[in-house]
Amino acid sequence: MNRLVSTTQSLLRLGAPLLGISLAFGVEPTKPDEPPHFAGQAPGEAQALMHRVAGTVAAVDAKQMSLTVKTEEGDQTVHLTDKTRITGSDKPAKFQDITVGKKVEIIVKHVNAEGDVVTEVNFRFP
């Protein structure tokens, strides 16, 4: 019996810091009937991660609505959609305004099981 009480107390001492860690990283405690989720995210909503691609436009494919960007890590090709917000020097622009040689910053949203979606493209006029 003493051993059971000692083991239970040890587990409680270990569990409290873990709860603190999960709260510190934005993981909200859930009810038993709902899946775990992050702060600001509805239960069951797919987790979205954003990343930035910055470099120089190496190729433009109007038919595929894609850009190949030369970055420090190598060439990356991204596909735009009709919902992609395009700006030139922070002012509204069109896909046709993007040309080879322009500096670009692209925000890509990755949603698990859905793939990458380019949400924003900003290029600089020379």
The model's pLDDT over 22-33, given as tens digits with 9 standing for 90+, comes to 444 444 555 555
Answer yes or no: do 20 and 66 share one domain: no
Q: Tell whether 43 is covered by a domain.
A: no
Structural domain count, the chain: 2
Q: Tell whether 71 is covered by a domain.
A: yes
90's CB contacts (< 8 A; 6+ apart) are: 122
The β-bridge partners of 56 are 70, 103
Q: Mean pLDDT over residues 76-90, rounded?
A: 91
Q: What integer pLDDT is reported at residue 34 of this predicted model?
A: 57
Q: Are 37 and 45 in contact (CB under 8 A)?
A: yes
Q: What is the pTM of this model?
A: 0.61
Range of the domain at 16: 2-38
Q: Mean pLDDT over residues 51-78, rounded?
A: 94
Q: Tell whether 86 is covered by a domain.
A: yes
**Band of the pLDDT at 117, cuts 50, 70, 90?**
confident
